[in-house]
């Protein structure tokens, strides 16, 4: 499993080198689809082994269970509910609801990315992949006076098997996957190769974070 860094906005800065030739729309689409930034997966995050709490009190277990992504993970048999000791305001100790991976969840986590829980000293933040980007149609290519090219393209998130199940379980997931989005890239020819760099994804959902 890979160790995960979790910025809210991801920079799609990878480049791709391709064979010489005119940068027509078909080749532009291939350049875009080959960049590392374009191939980063969409995901959602769940936290395990960390107490669910605010600054001064535990969250009620019913409240924790109502969270759509928690409910989805439980329906898949990935998690069970337990309690973990927490330190609340003024040093008060309490046992708060927490999620733990089941045997099924432990097996599934082989395909997830493990990270730290930013707001807690313990626990694991699991990034669960739900889909990949797909270019829609042909990019719009603008050739500049310096012979570089600016690309604008339409794309959407295409769900994997987990994403399809999520779409059927969580209301906002359908919009996440169906929404037509716009991206941009700058391309320049070096010697006999074209290289393209994607612009920053400026929205969390465009960067791949699903948060219903």
Residue ranges covered by each domain of the chain: 17-42+131-207, 44-127
pLDDT in tens, 111-145: 999 999 887 778 999 999 999 999 999 999 999 99
* pLDDT cut 90: percent of the chain above it: 78
36 confidence band (pLDDT: 50, 70, 90): very high
CB atoms closer than 10 angstroms to residue 106 = 11
Phi/psi region, residue 69 (left: phi>0; alpha: psi -120 to 50; beta: rest), is alpha
CA angle centred on 175, ends 44 and 140, rounded to 5°: 100
pLDDT value, residue 21: 54
Q: What is the model's pTM?
A: 0.85
Residues, the chain, total?
212
> Is the model's pLDDT at 5 over the cut of 50?
no
pLDDT in tens, 137-148: 999 999 999 889
């Amino acid at each position: 499993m890979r160790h995960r860094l979790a910025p809210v906005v991801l920079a799609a800065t990878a480049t791709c080198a391709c064979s010489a030739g005119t940068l027509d729309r078909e080749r532009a689409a291939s350049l875009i689809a080959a960049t590392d930034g374009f191939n980063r997966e969409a995901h959602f995050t769940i936290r395990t082994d960390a107490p669910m709490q605010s600054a001064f009190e535990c969250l009620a277990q019913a409240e924790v269970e109502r969270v759509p992504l928690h409910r989805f993970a439980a329906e898949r048999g990935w998690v069970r509910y337990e309690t973990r000791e927490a330190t609340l305001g003024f040093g008060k100790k309490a046992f708060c609801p927490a999620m733990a991976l089941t045997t099924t969840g432990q097996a599934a986590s082989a395909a997830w990315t493990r990270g730290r829980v930013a707001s807690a000293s313990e626990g694991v933040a699991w990034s669960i992949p739900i889909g990949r980007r797909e270019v829609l149609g042909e990019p719009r290519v603008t050739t500049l006076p310096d012979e570089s090219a600016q690309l604008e393209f339409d794309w959407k998130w295409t769900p994997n098997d987990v994403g399809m199940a999520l779409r059927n379980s969580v209301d906002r997931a359908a919009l996440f996957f169906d929404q037509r989005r716009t991206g941009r890239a700058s391309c320049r020819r070096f010697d006999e190769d074209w290289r393209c760099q994607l612009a920053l994804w400026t929205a969390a959902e465009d960067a791949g974070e699903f948060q219903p």
